[in-house]
C-alpha cells in the first residue's frame, strides 16, 4: 500500500535562514504535521532545528535527520549517530580559502564540527543577522560554489556542498542527505521540498538519489518558506 511521505529541508524551506518559523506558518504547519507523515532533513544540528521549529513540530515529525542524516532522532530520542572529523589536509585547504577570500569581515567559528560532518564558513558561524546579510549581499558570484568544486576535485573521498546562506558542508562521500533513503521504500509516494536542489546544493544529493533509484518522488525546489507555505495550502 502506498503511503504519502513529506520530506522538508529546514533553512530557507520552512524558515528564514537560521531564524524561527513565522507564527502564521507555524500554526499551519503544526496542523499539517498532525495529518501527514512529515520528515525533516537539515545540515544543522538538532538543537538548531529545535530552536527554529519548536517543540511541537519536532515532536510531531516522524523523524528528524540532522547533520545531513548523520544524526537521527524520533521525538527527541537519538536513534542513529555517526562520528567523523575533518582530515587535516582538507582543513588546511579551507583555511587557505579563508585567508584568500576578499570578504574581509570575520566573526569566528569558521569550522564547526557536527556528527558525521563539518561546516565551514568564510564570515564565521558567529555572524549575527546583519553580518550574515553583508556576506550574502557581497557574495553574488557565490564563492562557496567555487570552493566546493575545487574541494571535490582535490579530495575525491570527501564531499563539499553549499548549504544555507554563508557556509559549505563537508562529509565523507555518500554521507550527504541521500543517506536518509534507507528509511523509505519504493512503495512510498515522496514529496521533497528544499531550496538547494541545484547540483552544488546540499538538497541535490537526495533529489539525485531518489531520481536515480527510481523512487516515486516529486520535487519542489522552493525560493523560500513563503513558497512552501503556498504550495502546502493546496496539498
Based on the fold, state whether residues 159 and 193 are members of the same structural domain.
no
CA-to-CA dists, residue 176 to 84, 110, 121, 160, 163, angstroms: 13, 20, 18, 9, 11
What is the total count of domains within the chain? Answer: 2
**In the beta sheet, which residues pair with residue 203?**
none
Task: Find the CATH number of the domain harbouring 39.
Answer: 3.40.50.1000
Q: How many of the other CB atoms lie within 10 Å of CB of 195?
A: 24
Residue 78 in contact with residue 72, Cβ under 8 Å?
A: yes
Among 145, 172, 199, which residue terminates a domain?
172
Residue 50 in contact with residue 57, Cβ under 8 Å?
A: no
Q: 83-87, 138-142, 162-166: which has the minimum mean pLDDT?
A: 138-142
Based on the fold, state whether residues 30 and 55 are members of the same structural domain.
yes
pLDDT tens string 122-131: 999 899 989 9
User: Is the per-residue pLDDT at 215 higher than 90?
Assistant: yes
- Average pLDDT estimate for 87-102: 96
Task: Find the CATH number of the domain harbouring 142.
Answer: 3.30.1240.20
Provide the 3-class DSSP secondary structure of residue 4. strand
Based on the fold, state whether residues 144 and 213 are members of the same structural domain.
no
DSSP state of 58: H
Percent of the chain residues past pLDDT 90, beyond the cut:
86
Query: Rounded distance, CA 196 to CA 206, Å?
Result: 11
Based on the fold, state whether residues 161 and 184 are members of the same structural domain.
no
Based on the fold, state whether residues 145 and 77 are members of the same structural domain.
no
Q: What are phi and psi of 203, to 5 degrees?
A: -90, -15
Query: Rounded distance, CA 119 to CA 124, Å?
Result: 10
- Average pLDDT estimate for 88-96: 97
**pTM reported for the whole predicted model:** 0.84
Residue 202 in contact with residue 230, Cβ under 8 Å?
A: no
Based on the fold, state whether residues 67 and 38 are members of the same structural domain.
yes
Provide the 3-class DSSP secondary structure of residue 141. coil
**pLDDT recorded at residue 189:** 97
Q: Which structural domain, as residue segments, surrounds residue 50?
A: 4-82+179-232
Based on the fold, state whether residues 184 and 164 are members of the same structural domain.
no
Mean pLDDT of all residues belonging to the chain: 94
Based on the fold, state whether residues 26 and 8 are members of the same structural domain.
yes
User: Is the per-residue pLDDT at 141 higher than 70?
Assistant: no
Amino acid at each position: 500500500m502506498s503511503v504519502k511521505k513529506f520530506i522538508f529541508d529546514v533553512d530557507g524551506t520552512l524558515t528564514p535562514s537560521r531564524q524561527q518559523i513565522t507564527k502564521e506558518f507555524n500554526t499551519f504547519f503544526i496542523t499539517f504535521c498532525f495529518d501527514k507523515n512529515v520528515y525533516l532533513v537539515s545540515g544543522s544540528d538538532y538543537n538548531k532545528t529545535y530552536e527554529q521549529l519548536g517543540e511541537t513540530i519536532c515532536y510531531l515529525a516522524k523523524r528528524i535527520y540532522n547533520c545531513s542524516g548523520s544524526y537521527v532522532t524520533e521525538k527527541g530520542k537519538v536513534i542513529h549517530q555517526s562520528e567523523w572529523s575533518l582530515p587535516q589536509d582538507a582543513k588546511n585547504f579551507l583555511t587557505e580559502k579563508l585567508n584568500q577570500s576578499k570578504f574581509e569581515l570575520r566573526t569566528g567559528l569558521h569550522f564547526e564540527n557536527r556528527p558525521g560532518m563539518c561546516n565551514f564558513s568564510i564570515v564565521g558561524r558567529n555572524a549575527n543577522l546583519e553580518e550574515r546579510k553583508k556576506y550574502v549581499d557581497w557574495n553574488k558570484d557565490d564563492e562557496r560554489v567555487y570552493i566546493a568544486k575545487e574541494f571535490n576535485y582535490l579530495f575525491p573521498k570527501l564531499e563539499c556542498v553549499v548549504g544555507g546562506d554563508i557556509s559549505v558542508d563537508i562529509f565523507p562521500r555518500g554521507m550527504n542527505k541521500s543517506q536518509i533513503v534507507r528509511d523509505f521504500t519504493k512503495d512510498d509516494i515522496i514529496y521533497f521540498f528544499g531550496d538547494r536542489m541545484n547540483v552544488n546544493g546540499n538538497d541535490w544529493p537526495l533529489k539525485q538519489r531518489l531520481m536515480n533509484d527510481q523512487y516515486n518522488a516529486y520535487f519542489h525546489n522552493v525560493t523560500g518558506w513563503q513558497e512552501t507555505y503556498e504550495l502546502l495550502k493546496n496539498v
